[in-house]
Amino acid sequence: MGAWSRMREDVESVLSRDPAAQSGFQVLLCTPGLHAVWAHRVNHRLWRGGWRLTARVFSQLVRFWTGIEIHPGALLGRRLLIDHGMGVVIGETAIVGDDVTLYQGVTLGGTGGGESGKRHPTLCNSVFVGNNANVLGNITIGENSRVGAGSVVLRDVPPNSTVVGVPAHIVYRNGQRVLITDPHEIKDPLSDALIALAARVDRLEATTGCAEDGSPDADRFVAEDDEREAYRLDLERLSAYVSMGEGI
């Protein structure tokens, strides 16, 4: 596909996926994400041609102009939509598939620590990443998956999934709600504390005998509540006939 055909395809993609886009002329003038993607194509050619310093300088100029930083070494697919775009960062070894949508503040970055080689994420086709989400490390986000706003994704996401949270965990997969029963699945720093707390609650329930409704001890507690309520009703009936010293 020629350069002009790809540019036309990009404009049509923005018009079809961005409700705020009202005309092709408006998209051409007022879509910084589109400008950043077009500039990246030139910078990527320079990068692959050995003009790496020049490509980096131009990418920094584009960053200043659009607020979007795309390393010239990143591989971007067709019809990438960077909506709003301010603060988006795409690292050197990142790979972005076709029909991907990125909102403002998204980072496709590394995890640091002096890594070498492939150290940035791979986004497969039709992935959606919400604003201020961070996708970090050499991980893969499967096709048609969605990353919730503000999430921090540190491990692979299977296709057709929705992930949210810090760190991110799957809440929907193939249109079905995913219920988490093991705190270890969340990989949260507080997972061990939650597990210890749950174990303590289980021990206390076993000690008091009210672990499950319908147990003898649970019935005893219910009976005591009924007795207390009956006693309160008796007091209310007696109050109509017994003076408690009012008016003295």
CA distance 17 to 5: 18
Considering the chain, tell me which residue range(s) the CATH 2.160.10.10 domain(s) occupy.
3-177
In the prediction, which pLDDT does 216 show?
A: 54
Average pLDDT over residues 213-217: 54
Residue 2 clears pLDDT 90, i.e. is over it: no
Percent of the chain with pLDDT over 90: 52
Q: What is the mean pLDDT of the chain?
A: 85
In the prediction, which pLDDT does 183 show?
A: 62
**Higher pLDDT, residue 137 or 188:** 137
| Global pTM exceeds 0.85 | no
3-state class (DSSP) for residue 213: coil
User: For residue 95, what are its two tokens?
Assistant: 């790979």
Question: Cα dihedral angle (184, 186, 187, 188), rounded to 10 degrees?
Answer: -110
CA 230 from chain centre, in angstroms, equals 52
CATH classification code of 3-177: 2.160.10.10
**20-24, 70-74, 151-155, range with the lowest pLDDT:** 20-24
Which helix H or strand E contains 33, and what residues bound it? helix 32-48
Q: Is 126 left (phi over 0), alpha (psi -120 to 50) or beta?
A: left
**1-5, 171-175, 220-224, range with the lowest pLDDT:** 220-224
Average pLDDT over residues 187-208: 76
Q: How confident is residue 209, by pLDDT bands cut at 50, 70 and 90?
A: low
Average pLDDT over residues 165-190: 77
Which helix H or strand E contains 238, and what residues bound it? helix 216-238
CA distance 176 to 200: 32
Distances from the Cα of 1 to the Cα of 27, 90, 132, 165, 202, angstroms: 21, 24, 33, 39, 63
Which helix H or strand E contains 27, and what residues bound it? helix 24-30
Strand 107-109 vs strand 134-136: parallel, antiparallel, or unpaired? parallel
Instruction: Name the residue with tokens 């100029």.
Output: 61
